[in-house]
Each structure stands twice: as C-alpha cells, then as structure tokens.
Structure 1
Amino acid sequence: MSNRTHYDYVIVGGGSAGSVLANRLSADPETSVLVLEAGRRDFVFDPFVHMPAALMYPSGNPLYDWRYQTDPEPHMGGRRVSHTRGKVLGGSSSINGMIFQRGNPGDYEKWAENEGMEHWDFAHCLPYFKRMETTRAGADAWRGGSGPLILERGPADSPLFQAFFEATQQAGYAPTDDVNGYRQEGFAKFDRNVNNGRRWSASRAYLWPIRGRRNLDITTLAFVTDLIWQGNRVTGVQYTRGRSSHTVTAGEVILCGGAFNTPQLLELAGVGDPEVLKKAGVTPRIDLPGVGENLQDHLEVYLQHASTQPVSMMPALEKWRAPFIGADWLFNRQGPAATNHFEAGGFIRTNDEVKYPNLMFHFLPLAVRYDGSGGGHDHGYQVHIGPMNSDVRGRLHITSSDPRQHPSILFNYLSTENDRREWVEVIRAARHILSQPAFDAFSGGEISPGPDVETDEEIIDWVARDAETALHPSCSAKMGVDDMAVVDPHSMKVHGTEGLRVVDASVFPSVTNGNIYAPVMMVAEKAADAIAGNTMLTPENPPVYRANAGMPLYPEGDPRNDAWNAKDGVPTALEAMAAQDFDGLARRGFANTGAGAEER
C-alpha cells in the first residue's frame, strides 16, 4: 500500500471498467493513478476465480459476492430476486459466466437517437470493440485481433450441441458465423473470456500485465464511504481499510462501481433527487433526479429437458468426480473444468415488429440452475432464455446515510403488458426449437416448466415464480443531456460537478441485447480516450445485417446466401411459429398467435 496521498486520477472500483481505465490512463508515465477496490485480490491460486467451470461457487458466497437483493417484486408474487456482484479485483468479470457478446448494432443506433449521443452509434463504438479484442477465431472488418481481451470460441462439439444447431435450422433459423460480427441474428458458437482453460477476466487482461508501473497503485479491501468536495468540485475520497480510515485527494475521481454502487455513492455524497436524499438523512448538494432511475436488467428462465442418452455433462457434477476433474484442470488446463459450458446459442426475433433480435439463447448440455442446484436426473440439457429489450424500468435509492447498508432496489420485472407478451413469445419460440426432429433421439421430456404450463397465463405465472436475473443491471446513471440524464456523453462528467466522472454499466441509456460485459468494456475504452484527451478512434462502418432491409444473410458474395435461399420446404422461423395454434395468446386478443402475432 503506497504512502502517496494525491493522484491525478482515483478510480473507485477495480472491476471491469475500472481495470480498463487503470490500464489506459496509467499508460502515460507522468499520470498517477490509484485504483480503490472494496473486494480482495484475485489471487492466482484461487480456483473459484480462475477455473471456468467453478463459476457456480462464488454466487451467494460472501467472500466473492456482495449479495444484493431486490425489494419484493410486486409482479413476481412479492419475492426478492438475488443479484450476484463480484467482490474481488476484476469485479463481476472475475465470477461471471465469461460470455462475450457485444449486443446488436441497433442497440447503439438507439443510444445515438438520444440528443447529444450521436457519437455513440455503432460506427463510433466498433473501433473500440476491436481495440480491446484478440479474437482467436480471426480478425476481420468486424473483429479485433491484437487487444488485451483474449476470446476463445466455444467448441460446442458434443452430440447435444450438434442436435441444437440442427434443430435451429429445422425451425427455420439460418446459422451465423459470429453473433458479434456481420449478423447477430441466428445461432453459432459463442465467444468466451477463456484463455487456455483459464478465465480471462478484466483484471487478468488489463491489470496483471501492468502491476509493475510505478505510477499505478492498486489498493484492495478499500471501501469508499464518501466524496470530498470544494464547492461543486470533487477533490478526493474517503475510504476505510480494515479499522483504519483514509483520505486521498485527486485531480479527478472516476466512479466505476457498477449499476448498484455508483448511484449509491452519488446519493451518499449528496448527488441525486433532493427528496430522496433528505429521506435518507443526506444533505442534498447537486440536484440530479435521474440518479438511481431508469434501472434495467434482463430476466431469464431455464427451459430444461431430460436426455434419454448419456451424452450430457451431468455426470461431471457428481461430487466423487470433483478431485479428478480438478486435478485435470490444475495440471493440464483441460477437461470439464476448463469450460464455462456456455459454448453456443443465438439470437432471434420473436415477432415482426422488432427491428433486431429480442430473444437470446444460451444452450447448455446440462440441466441445472446457475448456482449448480436443481439436478436430480441422470442426463439433461437446457436453454437460458429471456426478452432482451424489455420496456420495464426500475429504480435504486439509498434509504440510509450508512454506506454499508445496501440500497433499495426494484426492477419492476413483468410490470408491462409488452414485457408479458414477449415472455409468452419467448417460451413458445424456445419450445418450437427444442421440439424439432433433431432432438428426437435425446429428449426425455420437458422437466421445466413441464407440460402443465401451456397457456399464456400459466407461462407468466411460472416466469413470476421461477425466473432469475441474468445479472445485467445497468442504466441507473444514464448518459445524456435531458432532464433525467446524470452523465455528460462527451466527457463522462457528472452533470453539475467538476472533477467527477462515471464509467460503468450505469451510464447506458438502455440495456444492450446480450450479456453486458463487452459493452461495459467498450464504454471504458472509449471513455479512456475522452478522459485522457486522446484523439478518438476513427469511426468504422462495415456492412451489418438488418432484418427486413433486403440484406443477404451472409456478407455480399458469400455462396451460402444462394444455398440457404434455395432450401425447399423450410419455412422461415416466423412463418413456422405463426402456423402453430397457440390458444393462450389467441384468447388474449392476438389474431395470429406465435412469433408474427399482431394485436386485433
């Protein structure tokens, strides 16, 4: 721990965004940087951090997880939804599912539609995605090849993965080469943050290689409790480490605490809605009513089948095998422990009204919950599914001036008619794929939700009882220039302040349609140039697939375009689903049930 008490930049949070900023800002040897991380180090000998298949163990473990919970969700029977957040250097990138998905180019076009956000369109974001990547599958116009984030493509070569890919085509969905490339829509092997059998977290990629820089200090177990002010300028932070209190001053403070901790710290420091702050016993300083509002997430369920064939990964969960699997990983970096198992999936549109995919699939050759529970059958497989572009909005606010008390969190899951309609479409779409002939040799019947859940009312009731968060909280201190915006989209400065910036998932105007780790890293890469005063990377605009725009499924000139279009007797997926008789939706007033439903 350094004795220095002043830095050019103090970064609050050594998670995904904080790791990027620490690396890029300290690249200038004349710039001093301090990272304050409330969790502990990501020690090299910790298998729960570095073993990909161990991802289920940190969830709920107070050594790794801050263990946030929502307030009782009113549209989910009043139950609380647990949110795992990383309590270790690297943040949630050190304990997440290691799935790397950028979102759709349309997500960033939607960002850019907001006033003042024009330079957040896909063309401006793409070069920053590429700068951070080393894509083992190969760099091209859409993908990077020399960045710190090493991305392996999942092998997805087991019989169940092959059946899944075949079933998606039987259901009318064309495969894609890369969901992060020319066309997101479709099914493919997924990129993952795994390098030679080890998790490749933000810390491993951005912090480990530069720990020897003399102008960079990284302090863990440092819990920031307040900001130091001179008028409207932030000049430093106060934090505790063990039983000791510390003060450090800074030219600038950058909050990278994520969608929960960043708005919490802003409110504790008097930045937010004055009425909310007064109720919590905090003196208002900066009137920003958008702090803690616009909270968004993805909700998901597991649609599970038993397998009649012994081809799933379920035996790897048997406790007696753990020492042998662990030893194979420890000495050889191979075997069931060397994969995150989220090796493939895809994106589809569940209706013709959406411009780009609103449903994501993760396919697993297992039938268990995210925390490893819910077994009890010899073999099985499942898809993780949920709407990607929900119109549900929540909020997060402090209720006390005690920084160690978690804020009140409410996502309002299932609170809108459109969200509930899409959930019915989601379940229908997944069942449509898993019922294809490719699975006939394997399916032992649906385990969850089971045949008793069929009508739309039954589906919504099951989702309310069984759904979990996909762990993508975001948008709680959004960029923009409107009355509810918190962060300036050009400088990342908090409106109405000096010396204070925010860079993390909280600044998203809207959640992207996939796992949010990659977008967070892109935002941090782009913000690093803005903060350092560097010349911004030149926008890039290779063609990207847009549904219903007359574009080919594959890049222009690819012979697969003609081959797919020439398929006889294969309806499009939307046509195939629309042809099914979904009585539940029909009763709710939809003239054409299934994916192409239109309201009467």
Structure 2
Amino acid sequence: MYQFYWCDMSEQQISQLLGEFDYIVVGAGSAGCVLANRLTEDPGIKVLLLEAGGRDWNPWIHIPVGYFKTMHNPATDWCYLTDTDQGIAGRRLQWPRGKVLGGSSSLNGLLYIRGQHQDYDDWAALGNQGWSYREVLPYFKKSECQSRGADAYHGVDGPLRVSDLRLRREIADRFVEAAQQIGIPVNPDFNGERQEGVGYFQQTAHNGLRCSTARAFLHPVLKRPNLTLLTHAHTRRVLLEGKQATGIEFEHNGKRLQARAKREVVLSAGAIGSPQILQCSGIGEPEHLSSVGVECLHPLPGVGENLQDHLQIRLVFKTLCKTLNDEVNSLIKKLAVGLQYAFYRTGPLTLAASQVCIFTRSRAGLDRPDIQFHMQPLSADKPGEGVHPFSAFTASVCQLRPLSRGYVKILNADPHQYPSIQANYLSAKEDQQVAVAAIKVARQIAEADALKAVITDEFVPGRQYQTDEELLEAARIFSQSIYHPVGTCKMGNDELAVVDARLRVHGIKGLRVADASIMPLLISGNTNAPSIMIGEKAADMIKEDHRHG
C-alpha cells in the first residue's frame, strides 16, 4: 500500500515508519517520478516520495487538450503569479506549475523538445563535467519510447511515449509551406542531428492520451514494497544537523511530521519550489533570509537567483481558412469532435499546445537558431477563456536563450506563502533587439504566398506597430510566458552556483536538487524533456554514489 492514512496511526507508529527510508524525494513531478522509479529498481533501497498535490484522477489531465481545464485550476495547479514587471508594461503573468502527480508534465502542452546539442556542451564548458550533449543523449534515449522507432538519437525501450500529432489542419500546412518560402528548411525531427527548420511537433502521448511522468514512470511501480508515496504532503523545510541533511519536515492531514533519510534528501520541487524550500530551511543569501525572519544556517547566495524563462510574443492572424475556432464555436461540430475522440482518439481533443514548430535565426550571421515559433490553428485571448468568434491562427515567437535574469525569493518564513517571482523580462538590451527582429520574421512568414492568400488581417498586435520602438512596445504588451522557468538552483562552481555537477548542494552533505532549477542556462526549446533527462541522470549518479558508499 503506497498511501498511508495518519489518522489510524499513533505518533509513535508514524515516527517509526518515517525512519526507514534511504532517500526522500520531494516532488512527484517531471524529475521526481523518474527518480522514484529508477532508485527503487534496487530492492535494497527504500524511497519516500512526497507530493504536495493530489492524485492524477482528473480526466482532463489525460486528454491532451485538457490543459485548458487543468491550468489555472487550483486543484491541479499552484497558480503562481509573477511580480509586476516593467519589462512587460507593468503586467503580472500567470505561471502554471503542476500540483498533482506528474507535476507540470500532467498539465503542460505535451511538446517533446530536447534543445540544441550546443546547449549541453555549454553547460559542460562552464565546468559541469558529465553534462555535454554526448553524455546526456543516452539519458534522453533511456527514457524514450519513440513511435517512429530507434535510431542514433532515439530509443524505444523507455516508458515515456513520444509520438506524432494526431491532428492536421490546412492552415498549419500552409504555415509550414510559408516558412519554406522564406528560406527555412523542413526538419522532420527537431531532436535529431540538427534542430533548425520547420515541421510538426512530437508530443508525449500514446493512442491519444497524455503520457505524463506519473503515468510513464510512477504508476507502473507503485506496488514496489520499497516505495512509499504520500500525496497532499506539503514540505516545510529540510532538517539539518550542522552541515548534514537528515530529513524533511512536512505537513499532512493537518499534522506537522518529520521523515528521516538515512542517505539523502533530493529536492525535485521545480524552479520555484526547490529554492523556496531551501530558503525556508535557512539555506540562501544571509541578508535576505535575515530580512524575512529566517535564521541563516548555511550561506548560499545563489539560491533563487539566475531565474530564466521563455517569453513568447503572440501574433494572431485572421484567415479565410477555417480553423479550430470554427469547430469549437459550433455546437454540432463540438459534438462531432467529442465523438471523434471517443471512438478514434483523434481530432482536436488530441491537440498539443502547438502544431507547427520553427527554429530559426532572427538575423543573419548567427551560428545557430536563436528564436522558436509555436503555431496553433486557433486563437484566444487567454487559455481557458474560449476561442475568438472568427477564423484565426496564432504564431507565437520567443527568444531561445534570453540574457535577462530574475529571482525567486521567499517573503517570510511561512512555507505556504508564495514567494516573490521577478522574471525581469526584456531587461537585457539584446533581448529587446531579438524581440523586435522576431516579430519581423513572423511577418515575413505571414507575407509569404502560402499564407498571404488566406490572411485577411493581423489581429494582434496589429499593423499600427511598425517602427522598432513600436514593435518593442508590442512585445511588452502582447507577450506571455511559455512556462519554462529554470535556473534558480544553478549547477556550477561560481559564486551563484547552488549545486555541483553531481547535483549536490554546495556545503551540505546528503542534499541534492534534481529538476529544472539546476540548469545553469536555459535550453533552446521546451523544458519538459530536459527535466526528465535530469531525473534520469540524477538517479544514476545517486545509485553510483550509493554503491561506492
């Protein structure tokens, strides 16, 4: 039995139970589920997996387009909100993060992108031994069950299902053709030999159902006797004895409890949760901790710093082609969509966050792509608020490797209080220049023959934005996060590094971080696949260290 109900146990029984674990993993998300699976492959290793959210019972989690229902839903989403940000015209952005088994892999857009080879070589060049592309590729392949079959870049023996989209629409085909007409080559595999080009995304789905890390890695192993899962377990802090992590204090069913780890505590709570837990534990920048009433037990100034995210600039074009707007706005067609999915597991309900992807360069002379497009055959002001009452598609574009940096900082000692999240979008001059250039590339695609023939109007931002100054203003106003926060417990050896190349927290024994927060630099693309890779590699390093004592 993997779920324990504390009301039936005495405090002594609980204390005895929680003293039996070798490893405690905090967060059953994209990396945490992988860790729970791989660590318990050894029957001699006992693992406690703590998840602040609940079970993944909501049916919308498993229907691909269900992210419209699970994002911004407090039952499944932490519903974070950034601070006001002058870089985006003083706005605050919603940052969905999964609060459920599978974490953000249970409510993301299902897009499977690994990033560029050079991204990982850059990590290694910063002194992070073992993180070059050549060294991380085996972990991507280890996780993957690729529907197209195995090759030098893809695996078929892993639990994570990766498949082609089960929906095609004319406007998306036209978008692919238009990109080619302005010189962007076709690329059938963004995760293969090269990333640059235009083509269709692959998604983490199988037979029309989402394949979250909970479904892929966790559910198949829940009956292992050496794995204990606790849901609705909100971690308060890491327990420290001097410079040694010994366990976790958490809340469950209204009780404050402690669990002891004989070997290690591994934080996999994400780019917001992991630095928050460290800071609440007294690990962080001393002056900041003192200012919010937390005793500094271990000075580590980089905790919560180095925050990076992808900011997408939305362009919406009205079109003569019928789009998903027309299908969703018709009751009869909506019924047909439901029946198509029920009987064949195809159609609009299998829609990932986007259909078409482009990786290209914002200007000549660059050695690799620096912008990415996400094209959707629909348009809306915000997810979950309904599509527009006219035919339209969305072409969002983001800078892949922004220079702007933000932070995550707790506001007080209460672990339930959301931290301050300041992304500092478009604060770097180069980011502003790329934003302007990216809008121009989007307009070039729209003006190519394949699309020009069917586009009737640029609805967002609108043709009134023409000069570079006006386009930068449009970027500040008509932009949203793609929900790729990383970097707040960065890996490295510099003064802001939080973990070393083996993901061990600097200066603290028995404590690691394994999630997107350890990325020293944001990868060039969507972040779920890299987070799963981090879980795979972390598990191997932990088991290796376990074998060597």
TM-score (norm 1): 0.86
CA deviation string 1:465-515 (max 9, x = no partner): 2211110000001011111110011x2110110111100000000000111
Selected match of 1:29 from 43, 46, 67: 43
User: How far apart are 1:418 and its partner, in Å?
Assistant: 0.5
User: How far apart are 1:201 and its partner, in Å?
Assistant: 0.5
Question: For residue 103 of structure 2, what is the amino acid of its counterpart?
Answer: G
1:295 matches 2:307? yes
- Contact kept, 8 Å, 2:166 with 2:347, in 1: the verdict is no
Summarize the alignment of residues 57-96 of structure 1 with structure 2, pairs less than 5 Å apart: 57-96=69-108
Structure 1 runs (4+) greater than 6 angstroms displaced:
none
State the partner residue of 1:100: 112
Shift in CA distance, 61/155, structure 1 to aligned 2, threshold 3 Å: closer
Selected match of 1:169 from 155, 180, 184: 180
CA deviation string 1:328-370 (max 9, x = no partner): 4345423321232622212001123432211111111112245
Summarize the alignment of residues 140-539 of structure 1 with structure 2, pairs less than 5 Å apart: 140-155=151-166, 157-251=168-262, 252-310=264-322, 312-318=323-329, 320=331, 322=334, 325-340=337-352, 342-369=354-381, 371-373=383-385, 375-489=387-501, 491-533=502-544
User: How far apart are 1:234 and its partner, in Å?
Assistant: 1.0
Selected match of 1:132 from 128, 136, 143: 143
Alpha-carbon distance in 2 for matches of 1:208, 1:315 = 38
State the partner residue of 2:10: none
Unaligned ranges ≥5, structure 2: 5-13
When the two structures are aligned, how many residues end up with a matched partner? Answer: 531
SS in 2 for 1:296: coil
- Contact kept, 8 Å, 2:380 with 2:388, in 1: the verdict is no
Alpha-carbon distance in 2 for matches of 1:480, 1:533 = 20
Alpha-carbon distance in 2 for matches of 1:325, 1:156 = 11
Moved more, 334-343 or 500-509: 334-343
CA deviation string 1:307-333 (max 9, x = no partner): 1132x1113323735555345434542
Alpha-carbon distance in 2 for matches of 1:388, 1:114 = 19
Alpha-carbon distance in 2 for matches of 1:528, 1:319 = 49
- Contact kept, 8 Å, 1:52 with 1:339, in 2: the verdict is yes
TM-score (norm 2): 0.94
- Contact kept, 8 Å, 2:141 with 2:158, in 1: the verdict is yes
Question: For residue 9 of structure 1, what is the amino acid of its counterpart?
Answer: Y
Indicate the percent of aligned positions where both proteins have the same amino acid. Answer: 38
SS in 1 for 2:396: strand
User: How far apart are 1:302 and its partner, in Å?
Assistant: 1.7
Instruction: Tell me the C-alpha RMSD between the 2 structures.
Output: 1.7
SS in 1 for 2:87: coil
SS in 2 for 1:56: helix
State the partner residue of 1:14: 28
1:38 matches 2:52? yes
CA deviation string 1:71-128 (max 9, x = no partner): 111222222111111111100100000001000001111111112x132110101111
CA deviation string 1:271-290 (max 9, x = no partner): 01100100010000111101
Alpha-carbon distance in 2 for matches of 1:494, 1:250 = 16
Question: For residue 464 of structure 1, what is the amino acid of its counterpart?
Answer: R
Alpha-carbon distance in 1 for matches of 2:375, 2:90 = 29
- Contact kept, 8 Å, 2:247 with 2:260, in 1: the verdict is yes
Alpha-carbon distance in 2 for matches of 1:182, 1:516 = 19
SS in 2 for 1:487: coil
